Chain A
Amino acid sequence: MTVIEKIQKICPEAQVSTSGDTIVTVPSDSLAAVAEALRNDDQEPMDYLRDIVGMDWSEGLGALYYLESSKTYGRVVLKTVARDRDEAWLPSVCHWWRTAEIKEREIYDFFGIRFIGNPDMRRIFLREDWKGYPLRKDYDMDSNPLNMENEENADDTVEYYLKPDGTVEGHRNILFDQKDFVVNIGPQHPSTHGVLRMRTSLDGETISRIDPILGYIHRGIEKMNESLTYPQTLALTDRLDYLSAHQNRHALCMCIEQAMGLEVSRRVQYIRTIMDELQRIDSHLLFYSCLVMDMGGLTPFFYGFREREMILDIFEETTGGRLIQNYNVIGGVQADIHPTFQQKVKEFIKHLRSVIQDYHNIFTGNVIATTRLKGVGILTREQAISLGATGGTGRAAGWANDVRKHHPYALYGEVDFKEVLYTEGDSFARYMVRMDEIMESCHIIEQLIDNIPEGETRLKTKPIIKLPEGNFSASVETSRGEFGVMLESHGDKTPYRLHYRSTGLPLVHAMDTACRGNKIADLIAIGGTMDFVIPDIDR
């Protein structure tokens, strides 16, 4: 029995559309029943909620639920529309997938859809006194001028419930008590890797609760996308998770190419794969550097950056950019690889293999480091799946979630590589996953670098690209987890809605779970090993 048949068994009125991705539309009344059945299915439990995408269709506000099974890796998309535009509400699914807690907040913030039963319905990215919901199609862009007053944050949250007469009402949940010692970590803090702010209540040095406050770098990229042409949208992907610039852009290019029915050449596939892996090494080296620096060891920070500069050199020769590369374009890559590219990559890998032992000697084996990392900030496999903590964080807990392995794209189906898995789920495992992945990436590159076939590096495309109507999506494994592109086209030259699955948002959400009961110093170490990049979260 396929997933769709299962859904239709529970909810006969479910409709299936197949323009682009297969999407099952269920009425909002039966969403809860369908969600529960899918989540608790025996053969194919849809236990991983990839993302919830809020939408403003002409028929009303609604959401798309992207589900995946951690057992069979099967995927399904649910669509549901809220009844009333002005008083829109949907049932919350956070009882089955904890990651919904934060994703529903995002949709509330952008679209004003209230989720019944979600314990925390505050704004997430925008100020609490923000007027209107920016991603609605009728939002007035000038309605919120710059407000220089300091923002006061409430110590409680709202939870909505449905009264018997069908109206929605809220009651307040206490977050921080009067007697809690609440320390603000961030938004401008040396080790939050950007402008994350964590309101942390402490009991001595022990953390009793963390409330992440996001949005300090929310740039409204998704709204901007709706008025940009497809080639223009590409430029902004580099600025999401700038340490996975290639991979992000790869995902969007793949998505658009798939919608256009464009097949890029083998040469491009090779180049993209190599670049993705170089980017991964780059990001993981930076991860090592930052983690070590956050833990107070300044010297190893410089080791990581020393090697990272070599990658940046390689990048810059070919792409012209060190951090923001603008390399992938629709139908290929911006320019052919530089003549010295292959030789330099090989030299780099040789060099990296010779120095990586120093990294381990100075940090990994160090008794201070191991005792600070081992057994700290444990996320179990079930927690990781429920929280949607993909990437190294999930793999450290034993959840095999590598998109490259389970939904291969580019050349990942053809190369030989190992999916690095640990089972401890603690900070040390998260650290080791990344360190091992550096070596795996080297291994992948070595298989490809000498065999790049000749071919077109860039297919000619029309100056104005129009995509057919429908929903399209693509996902890649970036340096820190699954990055997804969810695109809805209405046949125009601009996307109707272009949503990115943030890799970091679930990770930040997992911080509270992982940190409780640990020390402040552990907060820094756990945050470091979670390895999130804030601009990617806030978008």
Chain B
Amino acid sequence: MEVKKKTAIRSMQYDEFKNNDYLEQMVRDLNRDGAGIILGSVDDLINWGRSNSLWSLTFGTSCCAIEFMALGAARYDMARFGFEVTRNSPRQADMIMVLGTITHKMAPVLRRLYDQMAEPKYVVAVGGCTISGGPFRKSYHVVNGIDQIVPVDVYIPGCPPRPEAFYYGMMQLQRKIKVQKFLGGVNRQEKKPKDMDSND
């Protein structure tokens, strides 16, 4: 029941979200070691901040990027969630929204941008192309699912997804962040090189 309280999102019921079993499993795994109450509440505070301030790196390659622009526009207004601060520099972003097909030529660039991001960082795969190669999965030049390149936190299916579906996915990500433990293991989910290349 702790999960329910922690992952509450305004105007949404717990049961209206899909894939809750994953979060429950995550909480069980994290609680196995146990944590102090003080540490726990500090964690909650930090997670509140982190989940409400997801600045995305715009990584639009094709169609979904246009829907992302629509998301930022007046009708759907990302700003309501505080997502509107899209950063163009990977250093300042908290999550990378991969919008559109990732080709073989683009894959190293995506990986590099991901490496350049500051921890803690998240990846949202938007649209069929990023999830599985989508319409182009039989092509010779398309990566069939970006999970081969970077760890993905949330998948938003659609071709392209509706703006509302974007929000649904973003709220899923917020919920995932809320149950994580910042003071234990959120950073460095992957081993990373000591020094980063410059971004030119």
Contacts and interface: CB of A to CB of B under 8 A. Distances in A.
Interface string A230-274: 000001100100110000000000000000000000000000000
Contact of A195 (B70, B74, B106, B140): B106
Given A150-B108, A195-B106, A242-B62, A223 B67 contact: no
B141 A126 contact: yes
A243 B66 contact: yes
A181 B159 CA distance: 40
Contact of B141 (A148, A219, A286, A534): A219
A218 B58 CA distance: 19
Interface in A272-325: 286, 289, 301-302, 305-306, 308-309, 312, 322-324
Contacts of A235: 135
Nearest to A306: B74
User: Which of A217, A243, A306 neighbours the largest number of chain B CB atoms within 10 Å of its CB?
Assistant: A217
Contacts of A224: 136, 138-139
A90 to B, nearest CB: 24
A309 B140 CA distance: 35
B73 interface: yes
Given A217-B103, A309-B70, A323-B63, A148 B108 contact: yes
Interface in A415-435: none
A173 interface: no
Contact of A215 (B74, B88, B105, B108): B105
A323 B104 CA distance: 25
A216 B159 contact: no
B100 A141 contact: no
Contact of A322 (B100, B107, B162): B162
Contacts of A220: 136, 139-142
A146 B148 contact: yes
B60 interface: yes
Contacts of A301: 73
Contacts of B200: 183-184
Nearest to B69: A305
User: Which of B105, B136, B139 neighbours the largest number of chain A CB atoms within 10 Å of its CB?
Assistant: B105
A305 B59 CA distance: 20
Contact of A188 (B113, B135, B139): B113
Contacts of B140: 134, 139, 141, 144, 220, 223
A149 B108 contact: yes
Nearest to A304: B73
A147 B148 CA distance: 12
B75 A305 contact: yes
B103 A218 contact: yes
A374 interface: no
Contacts of B136: 219-221, 224, 236
A195 B200 CA distance: 16
Contact of B62 (A127, A302, A322, A535): A535
Contacts of B139: 219-221, 223-224
Contact of A218 (B59, B63, B141): B141
Interface in B42-79: 58-63, 65-67, 69-70, 73-75
B61 A217 contact: yes
A242 B75 CA distance: 20
Contacts of B105: 125-127, 151, 215-216, 218
Nearest to B159: A324
Contacts of B69: 289, 305
Contacts of A239: 62-63, 135
B149 A242 contact: no
B172 interface: no
A151 B103 CA distance: 13
B133 to A, nearest CB: 9
Contact of A323 (B101, B109, B160): B160
Given A217-B101, A309-B75, A148 B111 contact: yes
Interface of B: 58-63, 65-67, 69-70, 73-75, 88, 100-101, 103-109, 111-113, 135-136, 138-143, 148-149, 159-160, 162, 200
Those 4 A-B pairs whose CB atoms lie nearest each other, nearest first: A305-B73, A220-B139, A535-B62, A219-B136
Given A125-B141, A218-B103, A289-B69, 12 more contacts: A150-B109, A188-B113, A194-B62, A216-B103, A217-B62, A219-B141, A220-B141, A236-B136, A242-B66, A305-B75, A308-B73, A309-B74
